Amino acid sequence: MSTAVRSSILHLSVLCLLATLFFILPEYHSGNIARILIMAVYAMGYNLLFGYTGLLSLGHALFFASGMYGLGLSIDHLGLSAAPAMLVGLFSALAISTIIGFLALRTSGVAFMIVTLMFAQAGYLTILLAGKYTRGDEGFVIKQSDRIIAGIDLSQADNRYFAALILFAIVFIFIGILVNTRFGKTLVAIRENSERARMLGYDIQRHKLIAIIISGSLSGVAGAAYALLFGYAGATFSTVQYSIYPLLWVLLGGAGTTIGPLIGTVFMTYLIDISSEYTSAYMLIAGLVLILLTLFAPQGLAGVLRKKFLPWLP
Amino acid sequence: MLEVRSIDVAYDKVQVLFNLSLRVERGSILCLVGRNGAGKTTTLKSIMGLIPVRQGSITFDQTVLTTLPPHEIPGSGIAYVPQGRRLFAELSVKQNMDIGLMASGAGQDTYSSVLEMFPKLQERLNQRAETLSGGEQQMLAMARALCMKPEVILLDEPTEGLQPSMIELIRTVILQLKSQNVAIVLVEQHVDTVIAMADSVAFIVHGRNPETISGNELRDNPDRVERYLGVE
């Protein structure tokens, strides 16, 4: 069986499993999974830049928040309906990631991390300063009547779950295809040795910029979808914490694997969820598990699977 | 024809190449010979645009390479196999070669003909590059460069640290490329290889090229290589 066939079977099986889970799991968990799927979209966007291109950004919360506020503000202040507001969210993230990418790519390594972090902080402060429109720290709720696309009420648990799953599936398949294209393989070459890739005739800066734009746009779509499905947009989502989350999810799940972001997001969400039932020091447990995983499985869970058992894992 | 005309090259304020000129025709081998730090690798990097040339020019046929951005130089038909191989370590042999093929837009024919030159790689297609032996890594570095169907290939010490059988294989491949009308610029410390293969030899001393002689002149008087390399 060829790698492409195995990979397609894996991707489809994951999607079938996720669709089945809705009918098996209690409502609490299906709500959790819907949230996880949206965050996994965010993590997949992040993974394209970090896992496949080798660029470590600490400012992705800005892209997530761009999508979220692009959608939220256009509904709240411009009176747009949900579908066009999603597009506003997407294009807000696309525009901001283009500008940030263009500026941040003048740096590399640690400087790139710091510059992206600073831009995200500037974004966070802008949201607070523009409190008249964004309602600052408090954020704002998106009314149930505004969360309807093509007559489907996305505030309903089942609709919300399957909307999250559809978005996840689109991005999951898109990433699966993208990383096997010439562009995707070039990103991997850049991650492995950018100088060597340049010597082979690849325009490194252009590829990195496109990767930032795609990554930022996917993060923005996740932000917009989160606001639409869960009915809230808040400044918390633009804090540094939300820039670090996707890094942790991707590291845990397996950077540079298509399935890793989902695994990492599920693992970390449930680790915190379960440990918080037993102790208020749940972040301590999460931190400890993170340290252990980093020490013993630095390639992440899917990375270990790929290295030891499934070399074809995409 | 690749021609380097009177180039000056510097790393910041430290000049390393002074008025250096070279020339290599298609189907011939130019060996660059000099001690460590003489400027041989810098010369190759300058040709690839990785270090800017302050003065002078580098041309390949009608193309002025010194005006091109570095990533466009391989597209003009020049491939570079750096010292230390610089493979994509985490990727498989096939993936490494694919990246070379994608860069040139070459197809299956090129892939097959390159693998014919290096049959050992055929057995290792799915193996990660970092797990190959030194000789196999060198083969892969050359194979990847050949996937770009180069008209000129720059080889920086391709036999360094290899066992004799592997050196012989690399030599055979270089001669095969020469017979296919590829121009070869070879930086080499093995005196035997230089004497056996060179059509011309450019000596480099402290970033300058005091003389370039033909391969026959060198074979008549092999001591000259040893003098420039400082070998007793």
Is residue B190, in this structure, part of any structural domain at all? yes
Of B2, B111, B11, B5, residue with least CA distance to B63: B2
Q: Cβ–Cβ of B74/A204 closer than 8 Å?
A: no
Cα A305 to Cα A25, A59, A309, distances in angstroms: 26, 29, 5
Query: What would the mean pLDDT of A34-44 be, rounded to a whole number?
Result: 97
Structure confidence at residue B232 (pLDDT): 44
Looking at B149, B175, B195, the residue that finishes a domain is B149
Query: What would the mean pLDDT of A243-248 be, rounded to a whole number?
Result: 94
C-alpha radius of gyration, chain B, whole number:
17
pTM: 0.85
Q: Which residue has the tokens 């070998």?
A: B231
Whether residues B145 and B161 share a domain: the answer is no
Q: Cβ–Cβ of B48/A199 closer than 8 Å?
A: yes
Structure confidence at residue B207 (pLDDT): 92
Whether residues B47 and B73 share a domain: the answer is yes
Query: What would the mean pLDDT of A133-147 be, rounded to a whole number?
Result: 90
What is the overall mean pLDDT for chain A? 92
Query: What would the mean pLDDT of A59-65 be, rounded to a whole number?
Result: 96
Whether residues B108 and B219 share a domain: the answer is no
Structure confidence at residue A59 (pLDDT): 94
- Packing angle between helix A182-199 and helix A204-230, nearest 10 degrees? 140
Whether residues B97 and B37 share a domain: the answer is no
Q: Cβ–Cβ of A200/B82 closer than 8 Å?
A: no
Structure confidence at residue B219 (pLDDT): 86
Tell me how far apart the 2 most distant CA atoms of chain A are, in Å. Answer: 59
Whether residues B119 and B180 share a domain: the answer is no
- Nearest beta carbon to residue A198 from set B71, B102, B144: B71
Structure confidence at residue A5 (pLDDT): 85
Closest-approach residue (CA) in chain A for B73: A201
pLDDT tops 70 at residue A159: yes
Task: Select the more confidently predicted residue: A53 or A4.
Answer: A53
> What percent of chain A has a predicted confidence (pLDDT) above 70?
100
DSSP code of residue B57: E
Burial of A111 (0-12, 13-18, 19+ CB in 10 A): exposed
DSSP lists the bridge partners of residue A232 as A141
**What percentage of chain B's residues is helix, strand, coil (to nearest 5)?**
40, 25, 35
| Residue ranges in chain B whose pLDDT is less than 70 | 85, 230-232
> A6 CB near a chain B CB, below 8 Å?
no
Most A-contacting residue of B71, B72, B151 (CB-CB within 10 A), to test interface = B71
Query: What would the mean pLDDT of A249-276 be, rounded to a whole number?
Result: 93
Is residue B60, in this structure, part of any structural domain at all? yes
Domain range for B160 is: 2-77+150-229
Contact status, residue A233 vs residue A142, Cβ threshold 8 Å: yes
Torsion of CA A31, A32, A38, A43, to 10 degrees: -170
Of A47, A48, A87, residue with least CA distance to A70: A87
Whether residues B71 and B154 share a domain: the answer is yes
Based on the structure, what is the number of domains in chain B?
2
Whether residues B52 and B22 share a domain: the answer is yes
The tokens for B181 are 């009308």
- Nearest beta carbon to residue B75 from set A201, A204, A311: A201
Q: Cβ–Cβ of A182/B74 closer than 8 Å?
A: no
Is residue B82, in this structure, part of any structural domain at all? no
Q: Which residues of B touch A203 (CB under 8 A)?
A: 69, 71
Whether residues B138 and B39 share a domain: the answer is no
Whether residues B132 and B184 share a domain: the answer is no
Q: Is B61 left (phi over 0), alpha (psi -120 to 50) or beta?
A: left
Q: Which residue has the tokens 């999603």?
A: A86
Looking at B120, B149, B178, the residue that finishes a domain is B149
Is residue B217, in this structure, part of any structural domain at all? yes
- pLDDT per residue over A176-214, tens digit each? 999 989 999 999 999 998 888 888 889 999 999 999 999
- pLDDT per residue over B133-185, tens digit each? 888 898 999 999 999 899 999 999 988 888 888 888 889 999 999 999 999 99
Whether residues B18 and B35 share a domain: the answer is yes
Closest-approach residue (CA) in chain B for A204: B71
Of B80, B86, B85, B49, residue with least CA distance to B153: B80
- Packing angle between helix A300-308 and helix A240-253, nearest 10 degrees? 20
Is residue B140, in this structure, part of any structural domain at all? yes
Q: What is the CATH number of the domain that holds B204?
A: 3.40.50.300
Looking at B125, B149, B173, the residue that finishes a domain is B149
Is residue B25, in this structure, part of any structural domain at all? yes
Q: Which residues of A touch B95 (CB under 8 A)?
A: 185, 188
Q: Which residues of A touch B82 (CB under 8 A)?
A: 196, 199
Of A9, A219, A276, A242, residue with least CA distance to A124: A242
Most A-contacting residue of B90, B96, B130, B152 (CB-CB within 10 A), to test interface = B90
The tokens for A185 are 């393989």
DSSP lists the bridge partners of residue B30 as B185, B200
Structure confidence at residue B85 (pLDDT): 64
Structure confidence at residue A256 (pLDDT): 92
**Which of A165-174, A185-194, A276-285 is the most confident on average?**
A165-174
The torsion angles phi and psi of B153, rounded to 5 degrees, stand at -125, 135
Q: Measure CA of the first residue to CA of the last residue in chain A; give whole Å.
A: 14
ipTM for the whole complex:
0.76
Residues in contact with A271: Cβ distance below 8 Å, sequence separation at least 6, in sequence order: A285, A286, A289
Whether residues B106 and B220 share a domain: the answer is no
